A and B are shown apart, each in its own frame.
Chain A
Amino acid sequence: MSEFMLFPVLAGEITPIVIGFLLGILFGTQLAGAISRRTVILVLAMSVVAAFLFEAPIFTWSLAGGYITEGLSFAAPFISATVGLLVGKAAKGGK
């Protein structure tokens, strides 16, 4: 299962990403105060770095799941959770 794949073989690679995004929206709606554009960029950049450090979940084999190649993968649920937080904040309104 080490060959390059764009889409997941099984849903288990995508479901955590969806759950992370939805929970991110849930907690994003609880964020108060203002979030500047610079903060948004910083958070997204840091989340990509963190996702690289945490790596994709074990037995994830596709690009959609965050796996690129052996030793290079991203924890996609982390990024989706961060995006969800920002979406939730935006959905709630405010600055």
Chain B
Amino acid sequence: METSELKGAKGIVAVIALFIIFVGVMTSFMQLNGNVARGISPEYNSLAFRQAPNNLASWVYDFRGFDTLIETGVIYVGAVVSVLAIGRGIVKVNGVREEDPVPQTSLDFKTESIPVILKYFGLPAIMLVVSYGLLVVTGASTSGGGGFQCGVIVSSAYLLGMVFYGKKNPLNLGKKFLIGLGSVGWATYALCGLPGYLTTNYWQYNVGTDIWSAYPGFPGAVPEMLRQIFGDPFRLALTLQEGTFNSTAGLVPIINLGEAFNVIGAIGLIFLVFVYGWSDSEEGKKA
């Protein structure tokens, strides 16, 4: 934007807005003076050794619960809108069977025309990106990885295949597969709350870790068998300054798997609709 455009009413509004922001930020800084409300973090920190190495992921799950799932729901809304606006499958079901939903001209590359490096390294790159995505989701409880990141990375591999090979995408994620993946992801995420609800009355209580039951007044008790089923597969030896603790992330890795499936399904469907279009006449394959 040119500064000349800020003359007149626009300029006055801009100056007032900047002044309000400046005063607000400066006042906040002046009021800080060590008075940061720490909230629930001291309690979480005192329990850190009982949780997974990636404490943050565990606490986010413990504190925010379904938040991430609903965020994924937003992407699904985007996918539905994409189908309606571009796929034409829902709006015009009969017409789709007779005509090409989306003309395949600009992205329908022939492999002979793409550079040699893409031709020979495209498939290995796609496979390695998928592997990286799977590494990220398996490291959800031990690193900064997670389900959402995995979903985005695997979807990127899918998009990479589309850009390199067009219709002949080697990562052939069909409509049926993506919908199935997303459905399993939603179900996994949602149903992971059931064990906690049945044993403690808290939906999505992390029964594998079960850290809050040590507090007096905590309702219900998690049976030892449930702790072992959900906790032991992800138990690690945390060697800290205070000693070695056999901690587990409990349900968090499973939740992240569900989330990864969710995101792959949602973003993959958007890519599929945007590039290939949507057709109800075909099952499981690109339109």
Chain A, 19-46, CB within 8 A of any chain B CB:
19-20, 23-24, 27, 30-33, 35, 39, 42-43, 46
Is B226 engaged at the interface, CB distance under 8 Å to the other chain?
Answer: no
Chain A contact residue count (CB 8 A cutoff): 38
- Confirm or deny: B234 has a beta carbon within 8 angstroms of a beta carbon on chain A: yes
How many pairs of residues, A versus B, come closer than 8 Å at their CB atoms?
Answer: 117
Q: Decide: B53 and A58 in contact? CB cutoff 8 A.
A: yes
CB distance from A54 to the nearest CB of B (A): 6
Query: Contacts A10-B235, A27-B154; is A39 near B134 (CB within 8 Å)?
Result: no
**Judging by beta carbons under 8 Å apart, are A43 and B134 in contact?**
no
Nearest Cβ distance between residue A11 and chain B, in whole angstroms? 5
Q: Are A43 and B127 interface neighbours, CB within 8 A?
A: yes
Write out the residue numbers on chain B whose beta carbons fall within 8 Å of the beta carbon of A9: 237
Which residues on the B side are within 8 Å of A35 (C-beta)? Answer: 123
- Smallest CB-CB separation from B128: which chain A residue? A46
Contacts of A59 in B (CB 8 A): 53, 142, 236-239
Q: Which residue of A lies closest to B120 (CB)?
A: A39
**Min CB gap A7→B, angstroms:** 13
- Cβ contacts under 8 Å, A10 to chain B: 232, 235-237, 246
- The docked-state distance in angstroms from the alpha carbon of A60 to that of B235 is 11
- Is the C-beta of B81 less than 8 angstroms from some C-beta in chain A? no
Stretch touching chain A among B98-106, B171-179, B270-278: B171-179
B138 interface residue (CB < 8 Å to A): yes
* Residues in A whose Cβ lies below 8 Å from that of B188: none
Partner among A16, A19, A30, A42 whose Cβ is within 8 Å of the Cβ of B171:
A30
**Contacts of A75 on B, CB cut-off 8 Å?**
135
Docked-complex contact A77 and B139, CB < 8 angstroms: yes
Minimum CB–CB distance for B231 against chain A, Å: 10
Chain B contact residues (Cβ within 8 angstroms of A): what range? 35 or more
Measured CA separation A35–B237 after assembly (Å) = 40
Q: In the assembled complex, how far is the CB of residue B252 from the closest CB belonging to chain A, in whole angstroms? A: 12
Which residues in B have their C-beta under 8 angstroms from that of A73?
Answer: none
- Which one, B135, B142, B239, contacts A1 given CB within 8 A? B239
Q: B151-192 vs A: 1/0 string, CB under 8 Å? A: 000100000000000001111111001000000000000000
Q: Which residues does chain A contribute within 8 Å of B177, judged by CB atoms?
A: 30
- B260 (CB) vs chain A CBs: closest residue: A23
Partner of B134, one of A12, A13, A23, A46: A23
Say whether A50 faces chain B, with CB atoms less than 8 Å apart: yes
Q: Which residue of B lies closest to A62 (CB)?
A: B237
Give the distance to chain A from B167, nearest Cβ to Cβ, in Å: 10
Residue-wise interface mask of B (134-147) relative to A, using a CB-CB cutoff of 8 A (1 in contact, 0 not): 11011101110000
Contact B233 A12 (CB under 8 A): yes
| CB of B284 to closest CB in A, whole Å | 10
User: Given A46-B128, A78-B132, is A1 in contact with B233 using a C-beta cutoff of 8 Å?
Assistant: no
B83 at the A interface (CB under 8 A):
no
Q: B251 to chain A: closest CB distance in Å?
A: 13
Residue pairs across A and B with Cβ atoms less than 8 A apart, 8 shown, are: A1-B244, A10-B246, A19-B253, A24-B130, A31-B172, A39-B124, A77-B138, A81-B138
A15-B253, A30-B174, A32-B168 are known contacts; what are 20 more A-B pairs with Cβ within 8 Å? A10-B236, A12-B235, A24-B130, A27-B134, A27-B171, A30-B172, A30-B173, A35-B123, A39-B123, A42-B124, A43-B128, A50-B128, A50-B132, A57-B138, A57-B143, A58-B143, A59-B237, A77-B139, A78-B132, A78-B134
Q: Lowest 3 CB-CB distances: which A-B pairs, in order?
A: A16-B138, A12-B236, A81-B134
